[in-house]
Each structure stands twice: as structure tokens, then as C-alpha cells.
A and B are shown apart, each in its own frame.
Chain A
């Protein structure tokens, strides 16, 4: 088994680096991985690969930011806002359908109707879990909208939603501190999980061939 861990490789590919930089780097990791499998065994090679992936990820993000600057940032913010809107619309649609079905069947559509007397505690526990579950589709949508840097966009959506959550928590009274800390973190984790889900499903690593612009411009480059 000399194929690098697929999920980790897909995640590296989803960090938005330029195609030539990304493919050369991930290709080198794959080549070194194959050598280490023969030399040290599969388990040791996988461990090395994951460690190297963590060390390499910031360089891939840096390459994505390189040259794009504000254009890249505004693009990601645009994707985050679009996916947030789409997620809200999706949530609204699901809620509307659920309420319509409940009314048609003749049962109460109010959640509080089914909650026991200590519903506040149940909500405090259930809401973070619900936040995690509902943000996964959001991260997936963000990654789907941004084919160049899907994970960066999913993370940006997480930050956007977490900020909204923090703002809402600041306005509310009687909300425990742990709740205000845990929920935004779960929101970011959920969107990242959604982004990863998308990236691992669709990995587009297109081999790049050709010479750099510098070499084309300088045919007399010294050997």
C-alpha cells in the first residue's frame, strides 16, 4: 500500500494553493511516502505523512493568499455570505415544510409543546449539538461554491456564523459562559467538517505540465 492517506491528501489539495505549487508539493509528499513505506513500513510512513501535512498546510494557504491579497479575501467573504444565505433559505424551507406537514396531520408544530418542564437545560445541551449538525451542510455548500479554496471558504463561513452566534449570545441574558464559548467553536467545527466532506468527495488534482514563465522568457538561462 504505497498510496498516501486519501483524506489528508484531499484536505491539502483543498487549501487553495496554485495548481503547479500544489501538485509539485503533494507529488513530493506522495513520492517520499512511497519511499518511507518500503523503508519504515506503512504505519510509520502514514505517521510521517500526517505530521508533514500539518507542517505543510500553512505554506499551501500562504500560496493561496500570495498574489490574490484582497481579491482572495473578498472572494472568500462573498462565498461565505452566499453560502450563509443559502443555508438560511434551506433551513427556512425545511421548517416551512415541517410546519405544513404538522398542520396537515393535525399535530402541534411548536417545539416547546413536546419539551418537558426542564426544557431550558435540554435546549442548552441540544442547541450546541443542533448547531454542529446544521452547520455541516453550510460548510459543504461553501466548499461546493468555491472550487479553488474550498476549505478556506468553509472556515470563513464558520467564522461568520460563529460571530453571529457570539453577537446573539451577547444580547441574550442568563446564557452560561460555557455555552457562549462552546457553541461558536462547534459552529466552526461543523462548517469545517462539511467542507472536508465536500473536498474528500471531490478531489481535483490536475497534473500540471509546462515551464515557468521565467524559463520561457529566458531561453538562455544557464544550466
Chain B
């Protein structure tokens, strides 16, 4: 799986899962992605993307114990697989290559 075969939202969600580590479940991922992209993604959109990443083997999931606050349902925690890590490294390499040579005044400010 290379960076070119991952969509923009998929990459954003994959990075969020990597950043959140053990706390990466749907709601936390949605909050992180929405805050960083300043776009209010629906819960469904984030889960569909997570499902797609799981289908591609870039993340894996496990269910927690049922929680009362969720009406007795489990949280689904996600983690980046080794294939996902390779895809992230590849995406960063491609981004660095694309930005190479662009003057600092045109570079975006990063948080």
C-alpha cells in the first residue's frame, strides 16, 4: 500500500489513529480529525474511512468491554499495523518530496 493509493481523508484518519495511540477509537479520532482539519466530519464518515483503512490492512481493531455511557456497547479501538506504518512513512516521504524547493514564505504554518 503506497501513499498514492490512500485518499486525503484516509491519510488524515490514519495519522490521527497513529497520534492517539491507545486512545484511538471512533469518537476520539473524529474529534482529532475535525479539530485539525476544521471540518465537522460526521461520525459515519469517520467510521466508513476507518473501515476502509481496516479493509486495506493499514489499521486493526479490537472491541473494549461494554460501557454504560454507550448504552452497553463496546468501544472499537484502532491501531496502526506495520503496513499502516509503512504507508505513513511513504506518505511523509512523498509530501517532503513534493514540497522540496518551495520557498519558506509559501510553506504552510504548522501547529
Contacts and interface: CB of A to CB of B under 8 A. Distances in A.
B74 interface: yes
A59 B45 CA distance: 7
A218 B63 contact: no
A205 B71 contact: yes
A14 interface: no
A36 to B, nearest CB: 12
B43 to A, nearest CB: 5
B5 interface: no
A211 interface: yes
Interface in B51-91: 51, 54, 57, 59-67, 69-76, 79-82, 84-85
A220 B21 CA distance: 16
B2 interface: no
B27 interface: yes
Contact of B44 (A2, A60, A221): A60
Contacts of A43: none
Interface residues on A, range: 35 or more
A222 B66 contact: no
Interface string A142-160: 0000000000000000000
A24 B26 contact: yes
B66 to A, nearest CB: 5
A18 B61 CA distance: 15
A119 interface: no
A211 B69 contact: no
A30 B73 contact: yes
Given A28-B43, A221-B81, A223-B79, 6 more contacts: A23-B73, A23-B74, A30-B70, A209-B74, A215-B61, A215-B62
Interface of B: 21, 25-27, 30, 42-45, 47-48, 51, 54, 57, 59-67, 69-76, 79-82, 84-85
Interface of A: 2-4, 9, 20-21, 23-32, 34, 52, 55-60, 62-63, 66, 205, 207-212, 214-215, 218, 220-223
Which 8 residue pairs spanning A and B have beta carbons closest together?
A59-B44, A27-B73, A56-B44, A215-B60, A27-B70, A55-B42, A24-B76, A211-B62
